[in-house]
Amino acid sequence: MYKVTNPATGEVVENFATATDDEIRDAIDRAHRGYLSWRERPVAERAGIVKRAAELFAERTDELAAIITTEMGKRIEEGKGELATVVDIFTYYAENGESLLADEPLTIKGGEAVIQKCPIGVLVGIMPWNYPYYQVARFAAPNLVLGNTILLKHAPNCPKSSAAIESLLREAGVPADAYINVYATHDQIAWTLADPRIQGVSLTGSERAGAAVAAEAGKNLKKVVLELGGSDPMVILDADDLGETVEIAVASRMGNTGQACNAPKRMIVMSGIYDEFVEKLSKKMSQYTPGDPTDPATTLAPLSSKEAAERLVDQIETAVRQGATLRVGGRHVEGPGAYVEPTVLTDVTPEMDAYSEELFGPVAVVYRVNSEAEAIELANDTPYGLGSSVFSADLDRARRVGARIEAGMVYLNAAGGSQADLPFGGIKLSGVGRELGPLGMEEFMNKKVFRL
């Protein structure tokens, strides 16, 4: 189940043993015992350890980036960029932990009270393969500072990076029982969530996985945070420099070879600039060429697996068969690797599968609209609601449209991204809860009312 398969070559590099049931039970025991002592350490001490972890992530960027290039095919330069974000996240919670966890006074009738911000116990983290370090960082960093302990189940194709994270945190000073990497099965996670010592679960992944984990969590009355899929709209109302807007669109869509939940997947363009936008976008997308992801000069990396590439090509072919127009790309690149040509689709209608599906790879779907109202209606006509962006030379116009988009995040004149101090999360099928920023510290927190 847990193995490293290089998606650039198809070669199985290394296998890892799945945990036994006894090993999982032991990990739960250890994590609970670890919580009882970890929560007693001063916040400043926990924050200092998390700060040291940030320093180690920075020092080992090259080594860690190389691991995920082999595991899931990320271009080496993008891997280094991911590590820079990880450093920012660990640093943010280390430097702001004490203020974020300070007692909050309440003004009440007939007395005084404060809200004390306390940990709740052992948490389970279920992480995806597309950002192997970043996804763990945004869950682990705030909860370690808060005083919770963690059982971390990573994606089956990321066993080496998950082991590297655990080793680094140990070296930083995180106790062996405060963060435990487990190579668990889905069945083992299900009965782990039933254990009364487990207090919550955070999952980043598909909506199917989210529904399954939420069902188990609900059945056992456990707090859950879910960051699921996205089909984010990028609404382009007008532009002083359409070429620059296209550059932003392509860079954000092609980041991580299109395998980002909050990338702009649906580009909604006003009719007056639609034709020029599609022409420029298609030309730019066609300039990406496949290569070795360890080579900094490579522009197109593989998808995470051959199966992922086959699934995406099937989605593209289905869209075309149902009547969509293929402007560029759309094919599996010949060879052993999981490469798919960057693709632009137009003329997608609500009757087509591609209208409501998430296309998780280097595919942009472009829509023509004739008014702000039509753009807003199309932007909201999706089962997802993660991020969004609105582009206009008139900032008031962008604000007006952005205010009516149904999403957890709206960016004006910028593509959706992520930063340590900015909450991240969505609505509808994109999940529940928030990570990062001050809100990321509060999801698995006991906000204890203390009446004086």
Distance CA 243, CA 37 (A): 56
Neighbours of 35 (CB within 10 A): 23
Question: Which residue in 166, 216, 227, 357 is the catalytic one?
Answer: 227
Phi and psi angles of residue 123, each rounded to the nearest 5 degrees, phi first: -115, 150
Give the residues across from 385 on adjacent strands. 427
Give the residues across from 235 on adjacent strands. 268, 390
Q: Are strands 363-369 and 264-270 parallel, antiparallel or unpaired?
A: parallel
Taking CA atoms, 81 is separated from 57, 227, 236, 346, in Å, by: 12, 21, 27, 31
- From the list 227, 236, 226, the residue with the least C-alpha distance to 260 is 227
CB 137 within 8 A of CB 22: no
Helices and strands, counts by H and E, the chain: 14, 20
Question: Percentage helix, strand, coil, to 5, in the chain?
Answer: 45, 20, 35
User: Residue 159: is it exposed, middle or buried by C-beta count within 10 angstroms (0-12/13-18/19+)?
Assistant: buried
Strands (E), 205-340: 223-227, 232-236, 264-270, 325-328
Interacting residues of 348 by C-beta distance below 8 A, sequence separation 6+: 319, 324, 354, 355, 365, 367
DSSP state of 435: B
Distance CA 202, CA 214 (A): 9
Question: Which residue in 158, 166, 261, 358 is the catalytic one?
Answer: 261
Distance CA 423, CA 34 (A): 28
Residue 227 designated active-site: yes
CB 223 within 8 A of CB 199: yes
Residue 435 designated active-site: no
Catalytic residues: 227, 261
